[in-house]
Amino acid sequence: MKKILITGALGQIGSELMTHLRSIYGTDNVIGTDIRKGEQDGPFEIVDVTDAKRLHEVAKAYNVDTIMHLAALLSAKAEEMPQKAWDINMGGLMNALEVARELELQFFTPSSIGAFGPSTPKNNTPQDTLQRPTTMYGVNKVAGELLCDYYYDRFGVDTRGVRFPGLISYVAPPGGGTTDYAVEIYYEAIKNKAYTSFIGEGTYMDMMYMPDALHSIVQLMEADASKLQHRNAFNIAAISAAPEDFAAAIKTYIPEFQMDYQVDPVRQKIAESWPNSIDASAAQKEWGFKAEYNLDAMTKDMLDKLAVKLG
């Protein structure tokens, strides 16, 4: 990678990935795009990923060699607007892949644990397994994995991707995902020393701290292509936890913290269709993936950073 275009650059992942990549490859070599203009220092363009012509024009104008396609509607929002989710998540992906094919670019897009479904093995979910998701977001992700495989097999596009677990960050606010309780809980712990979880007690899901997620993207994109067998849907994981585990970790640093529950049936149903824990051995073997943050290390860093951010 030498010159990179990011779609959805103002989203939860994109906003931090753009900064991270600019620190590695140089500010002028990372072009952010989104449907609105944000406050940032480097090159940035307004691009709606459903506008194929505009996306192609910007990629060509900046002479990029890599697209990181992050623009998407997340799980809970996608259930509210399934048609719009299909148009953005699948139409946008197809447009971005076509640009990569036409301009011979390297390509990254993330999949998700949302690509799994109720019939998927819940514990230590294998790399290759039955998926059958029951959400529009999940259907989009499975289709996206297959589409990226197709563009590699059919056209030779260097497509790569990971299945992200829930991502936790102190930088970007929650963005409509089912795992967002694990971000909100830290904000509320600092502000109010209390939190009402919309996910029920005992509901385990895989999570990851954003620094590990950013590192994994760069590590995969810089990996030797000849060693990649799975390419577009690597399981990666760091933390398997339920809401009460986050509460217990926070109480280590804020003893007076309290949590209760007011379960959101829509997001709870989504959460219960996802794995409890993930087998990431393929990513470890093929490109050396390893997470650095466990629940306690992440909790300490989140609380320290949010205390500064929130004053």
Q: Which of 278, 133, 285 is nearest to 207 (CA)?
A: 278
Beta strands 234-235 and 162-164 are parallel
In this model, does residue 265 exceed pLDDT 90? yes
Torsion on CA atoms 124, 126, 127, 133, rounded to nearest 10: -100
In this model, does residue 131 exceed pLDDT 90? yes
- H or E element in which residue 116 lies: none
DSSP per-residue letters across 25-40: H-GGGEEEEESS--S-
Length of the chain: 311
Q: Domains in the chain and their CATH numbers?
A: 4-166+217-235 (3.40.50.720), 167-207+238-309 (3.90.25.10)
Q: Which of 123, 273, 262 is nearest to 199 (CA)?
A: 262
What are phi and psi for residue 86, nearest 5 degrees? -65, -45
137 is a catalytic site residue: yes
Average pLDDT value for residue range 292-298: 98
Give yes or no for a contact between 134 and 105, defined as CB atoms under 8 angstroms apart: no
Average pLDDT along the chain: 95
pLDDT in tens, 72-82: 998 888 999 99
Statement: the pTM of the whole predicted model exceeds 0.75: yes
Query: Which amino acid is present at 281?
Result: S
- From the list 25, 62, 137, 186, the catalytic residue is 137
pLDDT (0 to 100) of residue 121: 95
pLDDT in tens, 50-100: 999 999 999 999 999 999 999 999 888 899 999 999 999 999 999 999 999
